[in-house]
């Protein structure tokens, strides 16, 4: 089977790394990165946008295209590929609105009675200003539209909310969602769907802020772990019954079926799970920890989901937990510096860790940094403690100037062991 993976980050390295271990799979990636190039043929799209990827697909004639990031899905890659006769895993543009518009997602949640934070949608600056005077604090302000993790602000008081409103409006436009602040532990619950059938993945947990103990500004994610103890069987059943199945059924009933990876970002509150956001793809870095634990059946599951035939399909999971520690460049998340030489990737891999590459490029003499999140050092262990230690042993082998990483990835999960 010829598979083309769209994207060039750590998540796409994890997808191609996993697929490369399965028999009968030949792999291409576009644009890919130096890590992905070790397991797949990387092709730069000849021009930007969906048309560039279509040209790549025309030259390969893949049996399956797997889309990693949200932007090409929101831009209609799936629609364009399907009308050219290509089989694609990833939602069509209409269904990708679940991530592209937080207001659309709230509308779906209201219609399908899916538990989420109480909210108001404001369309004008006056409406928003009036709303933040009435609302209970802390409150959460969210821009509508894709904001690469920068569109959410938690405000503790009115002056903070006013200042956040100004910033969000000037960066992302006037439509602002104002939302109740929820307390609890977050979990990432991702499922694979063919539009009707659902195959849940194990739960994982991201670490969103740049500093330890959930301090500092939000990032795309500084590390993740995947461990069967994050949710109980009862919690998983409740999430499937109250969040996932109602969403999939609602989208199908609307004539905009969701096929691909549906990611529910959840707050596990005292009243049960509540949805913080939907994403229409695998999380990054959650994917790195998830795919490290999948033993087999991945290519088959992706092909089945893209073909409307996911019923009865299963995945084979390792029981050992996994941990992915992200190494970020100097200046991330605000102004990531690029061009710093990276050393120690092979030594890290000699410790048994897998080093997924994200913002890297081949420099004149060595691999060098080329983006905010640079590497994701991933390892397993017989228990979570050992998985954490193994991942950090890999981290210790790697160096680049200004390297930032959190020291507490996975620590929250230790209380469940
Ligand atoms: P989102 O992009 O909507 O997932 O928001 C980014 C992050 O902001 C989440 O992962 C949470 O840590 C936090 N957050 C978002 N909405 C809420 C909420 N209603 N209550 C508490 N924290 C929230
Ligand atoms: N790690 C969070 C995300 O992928 O959106």
DSSP state of 105: H
In the chain, how many domains are there?
A: 4
Q: What is the pLDDT of residues 350-360, one digit of tens each?
A: 999 999 999 99
Residue 109 falls inside a structural domain: no
> Do 326 and 399 lie in a common domain?
yes
Q: What is the pLDDT of residues 292-309, one digit of tens each?
A: 999 989 999 999 999 999
Residue 22 falls inside a structural domain: yes
CA distance 158 to 135: 9
Q: Which residues pair with 67 in a beta bridge?
A: 6
> Do 279 and 262 lie in a common domain?
yes
276 lines ligand 1 (CB under 6 A): yes
> Do 65 and 137 lie in a common domain?
no
If you write DSSP's letter for every residue of 272-309 in order, what string do you get?
Answer: EEEEEEEESS--TTHHHHHHHHEEE-HHHHHHHHHTT-
275 lines ligand 1 (CB under 6 A): no
Whole-number Å distance, alpha carbon 167 to ligand 2 midpoint, is: 22
CA distance 8 to 42: 9
Residue 102 falls inside a structural domain: no
Whole-number Å distance, alpha carbon 275 to ligand 1 midpoint, is: 9
Residue 104 falls inside a structural domain: no
CA distance 7 to 66: 9
pLDDT per residue of the chain (417 residues) written in tens, 0 to 9? 999 999 999 999 999 999 999 999 999 999 999 999 999 999 999 999 999 999 999 999 999 999 999 999 999 999 999 999 999 999 999 999 999 999 999 999 999 999 999 999 999 989 999 999 999 999 999 998 787 767 889 999 999 999 999 999 888 888 999 999 999 999 999 999 999 999 999 999 999 999 999 999 889 999 999 999 999 999 999 999 999 999 999 999 999 999 999 999 999 999 999 999 999 999 999 999 999 999 989 999 999 999 999 999 999 999 999 999 999 999 999 999 999 999 999 999 999 999 999 999 999 999 999 999 999 999 999 999 999 999 999 999 999 999 999 999 999 999 999
**CB atoms < 10 A from the CB of 158, how many?**
14
Name the token pair of 86. 């290509």
> Do 153 and 172 lie in a common domain?
yes
CA distance 381 to 360: 27
> Do 252 and 272 lie in a common domain?
yes
Nearest residue (by CA) to ligand 1, atom 5, is 152
DSSP state of 84: T
Q: Annotate 203-235 with b (16+ C-beta within 10 A) or e (fewer).
A: bbbbbbbbeeeeeeebbbbbbbbbbeebbeeeb
The pTM of the whole model exceeds 0.85: yes
Which residue segment(s) compose the domain that 199 sits in? 186-317
- Measured between alpha carbons, how far is residue 115 from residues 24, 230, 231, 305, 369 in Å? 42, 20, 17, 26, 41
Probe ligand 2: pick from 220, 224, 325, 406, max atoms within 8 Å of CB?
220
Strands 373-380 and 354-357: antiparallel
Residue 58 falls inside a structural domain: yes
CA distance 202 to 5: 22
- Measured between alpha carbons, how far is residue 324 from residues 14, 262, 314, 378, 410 in Å? 11, 21, 24, 4, 9
Q: Which residues pair with 356 in a beta bridge?
A: 376
> Do 83 and 203 lie in a common domain?
no
CATH number of the structural domain spanning residue 399: 3.90.600.10
Ligand 2 atom nearest residue 277's Cα: 5
CA distance 142 to 173: 11
CA distance 124 to 121: 10
179 lines ligand 1 (CB under 6 A): yes
> Do 243 and 310 lie in a common domain?
yes
CA distance 236 to 296: 22
**CB atoms < 10 A from the CB of 259, how many?**
26
């Amino acid at each position: 089977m010829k598979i083309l993976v769209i994207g060039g980050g750590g998540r796409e390295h994890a997808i191609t790394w996993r697929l490369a271990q399965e028999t009968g799979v030949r792999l291409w990636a576009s644009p890919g990165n130096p890590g992905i190039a070790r397991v797949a043929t990387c092709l730069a799209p000849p021009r930007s946008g969906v048309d560039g990827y279509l040209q790549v697909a025309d030259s390969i004639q893949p049996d399956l295209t797997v889309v990693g990031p949200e932007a090409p899905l929101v831009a209609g890659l799936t629609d364009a590929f399907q009308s050219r006769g290509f089989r694609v895993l990833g939602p069509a543009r209409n269904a990708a609105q679940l991530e592209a518009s937080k207001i659309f997602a709230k509308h779906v949640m209201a219609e399908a009675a899916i538990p989420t934070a109480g909210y108001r949608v404001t369309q004008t600056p006056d409406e928003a200003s009036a709303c933040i005077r009435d609302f209970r604090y802390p409150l959460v302000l969210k821009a509508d539209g894709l904001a690469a993790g920068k569109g959410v602000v938690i405000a503790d008081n009115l002056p903070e909310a006013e200042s956040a409103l100004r910033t969000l409006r000037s960066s992302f436009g006037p439509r602002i969602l104002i939302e109740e602040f929820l307390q609890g532990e977050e979990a990432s619950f991702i499922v694979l769907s063919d539009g009707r059938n659902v195959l849940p993945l194990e739960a994982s947990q991201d670490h969103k802020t740049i500093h330890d103990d959930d301090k500092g500004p939000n990032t795309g994610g500084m590390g993740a772990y995947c461990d069967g103890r994050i949710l109980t069987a009862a919690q998983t059943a409740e999430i499937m019954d109250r969040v996932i199945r109602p969403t999939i059924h609602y989208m199908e009933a609307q004539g905009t079926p969701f096929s691909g990876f549906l990611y529910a970002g959840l707050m596990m509150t005292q009243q049960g799970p509540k949805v913080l956001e939907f994403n229409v793809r695998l999380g990054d870095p959650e994917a790195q920890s998830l795919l490290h634990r999948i033993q087999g059946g991945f290519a088959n599951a992706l092909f089945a989901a893209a073909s409307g035939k996911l019923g009865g399909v299963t995945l084979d999971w390792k029981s050992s937990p996994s941990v992915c520690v992200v190494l970020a460049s100097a200046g991330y998340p605000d102004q990531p510096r690029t061009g710093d030489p990276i050393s120690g990737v092979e030594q890290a891999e000699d410790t048994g860790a897998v080093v997924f590459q994200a913002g890297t490029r081949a420099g004149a003499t060595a691999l060098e940094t080329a983006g905010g999140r640079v590497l994701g050092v991933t390892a397993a262990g017989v228990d979570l403690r050992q998985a954490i230690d193994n991942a950090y042993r890999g981290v210790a082998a790697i160096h680049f100037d200004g390297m930032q990483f959190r020291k507490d990835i996975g620590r929250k999960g230790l209380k469940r062991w």
